[in-house]
Structure 1
Amino acid sequence: MSTTTAARPDAALASRLNWLRAGVLGANDGIVSTASLVFGVAGATSDSFALLIAGIAGMVAGALSMGGGEYVSVSTQRDTEKAAVERVRQQLSTTPQAKLDELAAHYAAGGLSPELAGRVASELSAHDALGVHARELLGIDADEQTNPWHAAIASTTAFTLGALVPLLAIVASPVPVRLVVTVVAVLVALAGTGYTSARLSGAGTLRPVLRNVIVGGLAMGLTYAAGSLVGGYL
């Protein structure tokens, strides 16, 4: 199996892991921001309808902001990658030997002997010159760049799903216990996203879980205090 063929599954796996991490982070943002918003409103009023409207507005605004920001960011990255691949294509057409020497030097710098580096560069270039140059010298897949629409939809969906946790908890719970129920639901959800993120990254789980729970708890507490302060003057 050639190096070119073998590298694609690894790249695909890395791409899927990046999408999963992005989804977990989007859900985490949805949980924290919406929980903070509804707690801030709850500090100022106990009206369930006001909490529902505030929560829905925050969820929609946050999801659209996340999706739009991701679309713009990935579109910019995609345009940059396409331009870089096109430059390599032109260089391979106009100065093929110079690009071959550059690829061989890249392999030699990685530890291969100059003779073997030249042979590897020649054989891989004969199979797929553009693909191997883009991958090895630029770290780009010449055939497939990230789709900005996929990124936008994934971010919007993840944020919305995360936002539903505090929103449903605070509007569906009985008034006397809804803040407690929401706190518990949010902290459990944040522990879950922290754990998942750590597992995807291959890191230890305790610190990310505690960090997520502490930051989320502080955000809810501070916005509730701010809402109570503002509500006291209304």
Structure 2
Amino acid sequence: MSDQAPGEGGTTAPDHDEAHGGALGTRLNWLRAAVLGANDGIVSTAGLVVGVAGATSERATILTAGLAGLLAGSMSMAAGEYVSVSTQRDSEKAALAMEKRELREQPEAELTELTDLLAARGLSRDVAREAAEQLTERDALRAHARVELGIDPDELTNPWHAAWASFLAFTAGALLPLLAIVLPPAALRLGVTVLSVLGALALTGFSSARLGAAAVRPAVVRNVAGGALAMAVTYGAGALLGAAGV
């Protein structure tokens, strides 16, 4: 029961964005974010190293470009996620502070509001009122935070966790094309990288579809086609620049 306190057994369906319940929904969101972060690392780094490989066969040059792309991408992902989640956390804290002030200044109006919210979830008016009174007695702020705001005061979003998760997910994804392009012999380098990347993209497409309860086939096709297009475009650009002596 993601939007109600323990013992609030009469409430019905939770909000649509918490369909899996509190803890499970949070874990699934983190898993989806990790899969998408890894996917970004695979595609962006694969495009970069394949493009450089189209211009030169020098392993050191390809490795340097790949490492630079890995570090730049992972740091960018981490910084972006930190800023985004910090903003979300600030909004959550501001909403909780406002709710706390309203509970202090107009408790009866807030009790009525909680009753209305519970009644809107399918409880009869009398049962909703009784549940609202019991929840308010136990912990008014927690009750309003969960039912009205959809926030768990004990589990506010953590920007550092999000930043590290994005950094690690992107890095894990980026390592695959980087290793695939520098470890094999020059003659096999491109083929091994392309096959490895397309296989990994098929896996991340499958995983993201399953975690999001979406159709698997379209997700895999989109993922693989997008990665293949990115590598084809960057390889072509690298080959043209290499032929031009740039």
Question: Shorter chain as normaliser: what TM range?
Answer: over 0.9
Deviation at 1:229, TM superposition (A): 1.7
- What is aligned with 2:5? 4
Tell me how far 1:228 sits from its aligned partner.
1.4
Equivalent residue number for residue 218 of structure 1:
229
**Structure 1 SS opposite 2:122:** coil
Contact 2:4 2:146 in 1 (8 A): no
Structure 2 spans left out of the alignment, 5+ residues: 8-13
Contact kept? 1:134, 1:142, Cα under 8 Å: yes
TM-score normalised over the length of structure 2 = 0.91
**How far 1:43 moved relative to its partner?**
1.3
Query: How far did 1:4 drift?
Result: 0.7
Q: Which residue of 2 aligns with 1:55?
A: 66
- Whole-Å Cα distance in 2 between the matches of residues 69 and 5 of structure 1? 36
Cα distance in 1 between the residues matched to 2:64 and 2:23: 41
Letter in 2 for 1:162: G
Asked if the contact 1:131/1:143 (under 8 Å) is kept, the reply is no
Shift of 1:3: 4.1
Question: Within the alignment, does 1:152 sit opposite 2:163 as a pair?
Answer: yes
Task: Spell out, residue by residue over 1:10-68, the C-alpha distance to the aligned partner (whole angstroms, 9 max, x if none).
Answer: 21111111000000000000000000000111111111110000000000000000001
Match of 1:91 in 2: 102
Q: How does 1:115-134 map to 2 (within 5 A)?
A: 115-134=126-145
Written as runs of structure 1 = structure 2, the 5 A alignment for 1:1-234 is: 3-5=4-6, 10-234=21-245
In the alignment, residue 195 of structure 1 is paired with which amino acid? F
Q: Distance in 1 between matches of 2:92 and 2:209?
A: 29
**C-alpha distance after superposition, 1:106-127 (max 9, x if no partner):** 1222232222221111111111
> Per the alignment, in what secondary structure is the counterpart of residue 21 of structure 2?
helix
Aligned-residue CA RMSD in angstroms? 1.8
Query: Aligned AA for 1:81?
Result: E
Q: In structure 1, how many angstroms separate the alpha carbons of the residues matched to 2:71 and 2:164?
A: 13
**In 1, Cα distance between the equivalents of 2:241 and 2:219?**
33
Residue 171 of structure 2 aligns with an amino acid whose one-letter code is T
Tell me if structure 2 keeps the 8 A contact 1:191–1:213.
Answer: yes
Q: Which amino acid aligns with 2:80?
A: G
State the distance in 2 between where 1:145 and 1:197 align: 24
Q: Say if 2:181 and 2:190, in contact at 8 Å, map to a contact too.
A: yes
Q: Percent identity?
A: 57
C-alpha distance in 1 between matches for 2:141 and 2:40:
39
